[in-house]
Amino acid sequence: MRRRASPSSLRTSPSPPRRKVLALPGTTAASNDVKSLFECQECCGFVLPPIPQCENGHLVCRSCRPKLTRCPICKGQLGSIRNLALEKVADTMLFPCKYTSCGCEKTLRHTEKADHEEICKFRPYPCPCPGTCCKWRGALHAISPHLMQHHESVTTIEGADVVFLATNINIPGPIDWVMLQHCFGFHFMLVLEKQEIHEGHQQFFAIAQLLGTRKQAENFAYRFQLTSETRRLTWEGTPRSIDERIAAAIVKSDCFVFETNTAEFFAEDNNLSISVTIFMY
């Protein structure tokens, strides 16, 4: 006679717990205790995999590690020890963007964090106006208002086809002319720089920069053109984004470059007019 097992005597293998994604402060599942586990002992930022530690277990982030020879807490050797256990914990976490204090509310896995921060719209940018010592820093959307309110020499003109007028181009020494062009819902900063390449030899460099991201800049092209009754000189290119330094493009001559005698040929009464057209793909 077979005996039927009672419900209390039945045993089943428990299913493995589902891996949860936890969240650090700045989310609804904030935990100061968890946050402290990932705090760099040098800069107080987050320590993300690979996670180096000293011989006594204190953590430093990858940015601080190359600058240190000893632990900032116990002065022990740093070496190449990794905290593998904490790295596994980090794989289950969501970390806040480092621009949280600027308004970003995103939380991300550590493998996505750096890529997001590179294009985060809350990332603070320095003032892009060349030829100034402006110390301002602010969000992307605040750059245009800053230029218009705090740089009186920067004028703004509407339209995809405009004339960029540089006055008194024969003024000795290096000089910058800057203008904002507004079209297609964006501001483009037009820059003409006169630089002394070596003694007695000056060149002009003209470039357009989108006050937007690299991805947005790829949707546009610009044309600079010098014209006279019998001559025409043209340059076309993709505008630099706000993430790319104008100075770097000028060093590489990756812009509209022309000699002083060329500028004088197209100038009228010491003023140079550059026709500018912005195209949207």
Query: Mean of the pLDDT values across residues 257-263?
Result: 94
The backbone torsions φ and ψ at residue 33, rounded to the nearest 5 degrees and listed phi first, read -65, -45
Q: Which of 119, 149, 179 is the last residue of a domain?
A: 119
Q: Report the alpha-carbon distance of residue 170 to residue 79 in Å, rounded.
A: 60
**Together in a domain, 140 and 242:** yes
pLDDT at 122: 86
* Mean confidence (pLDDT) of the chain: 86
**Together in a domain, 91 and 152:** no
**Together in a domain, 243 and 274:** yes
Q: Which of 86, 119, 152 is the last residue of a domain?
A: 119
**Together in a domain, 131 and 223:** yes
In angstroms, the Cα distances linking 255 to 109, 191, 221, 235 are: 39, 10, 12, 8
The tens digit of pLDDT for each residue in 16-70 reads: 444 444 455 444 444 556 777 888 888 888 899 998 888 888 888 888 888 888 8
**Together in a domain, 110 and 134:** no
Does some domain include residue 7? Answer: no
Q: Residue 144 carries which side chain, given as an amino acid letter?
A: S
pLDDT at 33: 67
Q: Which of 102, 119, 136 is the last residue of a domain?
A: 119
Question: Would you say residue 208 has pLDDT above 90?
Answer: yes
Query: Mean of the pLDDT values across residues 205-234?
Result: 95
Calculate what percentage of the chain has a pLDDT beyond 90: 53
Query: Mean of the pLDDT values across residues 133-151?
Result: 92
Does some domain include residue 170? Answer: yes
**Together in a domain, 114 and 131:** no
Q: Are 163 and 220 in contact (CB under 8 A)?
A: no
Range among 87-91, 184-188, 228-232, 251-255 with highest mean pLDDT value: 184-188
What CATH code is carried by the domain that includes residue 46? 3.30.40.10
**Together in a domain, 150 and 67:** no
Question: Would you say residue 159 has pLDDT above 80?
Answer: yes
Does some domain include residue 3? Answer: no
Does some domain include residue 213? Answer: yes
State the residue range of the domain holding 91. Answer: 22-119
**Together in a domain, 133 and 99:** no
Instruction: List residues bridging with 204 in a β-sheet.
Output: 194, 258
What CATH code is carried by the domain that includes residue 240? 2.60.210.10
**Together in a domain, 38 and 66:** yes
pLDDT at 52: 86
**Together in a domain, 205 and 254:** yes
**Together in a domain, 219 and 111:** no
Question: Would you say residue 148 has pLDDT above 60?
Answer: yes
Question: Would you say residue 1 has pLDDT above 50?
Answer: no
The tens digit of pLDDT for each residue in 81-102 reads: 889 999 999 998 899 998 988 8
Least confident of 4-18, 32-46, 242-256: 4-18
Q: Which residue has the higher pLDDT, 104 or 32?
A: 104
Q: Report the alpha-carbon distance of residue 182 to residue 226 in Å, rounded.
A: 21
Does some domain include residue 263? Answer: yes
Question: Would you say residue 201 has pLDDT above 60?
Answer: yes
Calculate what percentage of the chain has a pLDDT beyond 70: 88
Nearest CA among 264, 257, 255, 265 for reference residue 168:
264
Number of domains in the chain: 2
In angstroms, the Cα distances linking 43 to 47, 53, 86, 106 are: 10, 14, 19, 22
**Together in a domain, 114 and 130:** no
Q: Report the alpha-carbon distance of residue 265 to residue 44 in Å, rounded.
A: 58
